[in-house]
Structures are given as structure tokens and as C-alpha cells.
Amino acid sequence: MDNTNLKARILEIVPDAQQEENKQYLTLLVPAAKLHELAVKLKTTADLSFDFLFCLSGVDYGKQLAVIYHLNSTRHKHYIVLKVKTDDRVNPNFDTVCDIWRTAEFHERETYDMFGIRFNNHPDLRRIFLDEDWKGYPLRKDYVDEVNIVEF
């Protein structure tokens, strides 16, 4: 399915998705509340069948925190990038997708570890790299660490 058709299909499911400019992949900004519903449909609908989540990354856009899902269909060989954003920097949370794609479990733990983004219904949401008692979320732009980060 080409990107135009894909976009049309997804707009059917989530009408208020917005396309973002990206030369490589079709990128859609999805409202956080609809994410899980959309993800289930992406995985299970036969002509979409996005069965491979090949990257899940958190991004700190300054004001907003975002999670970006790179999806691929191993059957139809098409790609899509989903993006969810939140303005809540104190207690950001999204729905987990690790019940749909098992690989998300570790990636979401990493995102939680580095950005403090919580994933609802995640089976084992703990810090994965850092100590449990680590203060702050290192990959956020406002993270300060006088000891370990040397400013040139």
C-alpha cells in the first residue's frame, strides 16, 4: 500500500491524526488517547498488518515529550511512523503497546528510564539501565548533572 492509501486508511480509524513532514516515512501525529486502539487495528487489519515495531524512541521536544513508533509490515513491506506527544512534563503517560508488539516491553522501559514517560498497563515498568534510586531522567533536555556531564 502506498503512503497516500495508508494515510487514508489511518484517517478512517483516527480522523484527527495529523501528517508531519518527513521525506522518508509517512509520519502521523496521533492523539495519545487513540494510540492503543490504532495500534491494535494496525496490527490486526489484514491489509495493514504492521507486525514489526522496529523502533520505539522517546524524544524531548522542549515543551513536549513524545514517543515515536516506527512500524513495518513484514508482509506488505510498507512503513509508517506514529508519533504521540504530551505537554505534561511532570507525569507524562501513554498507553503501552507491548501487548501488541512484545518488543515494546524493553523499549518502553528504556523510554521510561531515560524520559520518565510512563506507559499504562506495562507489565514490568522499572528502570532498565539506571539504578532504581536514580534522580531525574537523563535524556530530557532539562536534566542537570553537575558531576557527570562536563561542559566544554
Partner 1 sequence: MKEIVNLPVSKPEEEEYHINMGPQHPSTHGVLRLLVSLQGEIVKNLKPHCGYIHRGIEKMCEKDTYPQIIHLTDRMDYLSSHINNHAVCLLVEKALEIEVPERVQYIRTIMDELTRIQSHQLWWASFGMDLGGLTCFFYGLRDREMILDIWEETTGSRFLQSYNCPGGVMQDIHPNFQKKVHVFLKTFKKKIKDYEKILSGNVIFEQRSKGVGMLTKEDAISYGITGPSGRGSAWSCDIRKTEPYSMYSKVHFNEVLRYECDSYSRYMVRMQEMYESMNIIEQLIDNIPAGDYAARMKAVIKLPAGEYYQRVESARGELGVYVVSDGNKTPYRMKFRTPSFTNLSVLDHLSRDMKIADLVAIGGSLDLVIPDIDR
Q: What is the contact surface with partner 1 in residues (CB under 8 A)? A: 21-25, 27, 51-55, 57, 59-60, 68, 70, 74, 77, 81, 101-103, 105-107, 110, 114, 127-133, 138-139, 149, 152
Cβ 101 to partner 1, closest distance in Å?
A: 6
Cβ 131 to partner 1, closest distance in Å?
A: 5
Cβ 62 to partner 1, closest distance in Å?
A: 9
Cβ 133 to partner 1, closest distance in Å?
A: 6
CA distances for 150 relative to 35, 136, 138, 146, angstroms: 38, 17, 14, 7
* Residue with smaller CB distance to partner 1, 11 or 68: 68
Q: Classify residue 136 as left (phi > 0), alpha (psi -120 to 50) or beta.
A: left
Q: Which residue has the cell 522499572?
A: 126
* Residue with smaller CB distance to partner 1, 32 or 128: 128
* 86 phi, psi to nearest 5 deg: -140, 145
Burial of residue 76 (number of CB atoms within 10 Å: 0-12, 13-18, 19+):
middle
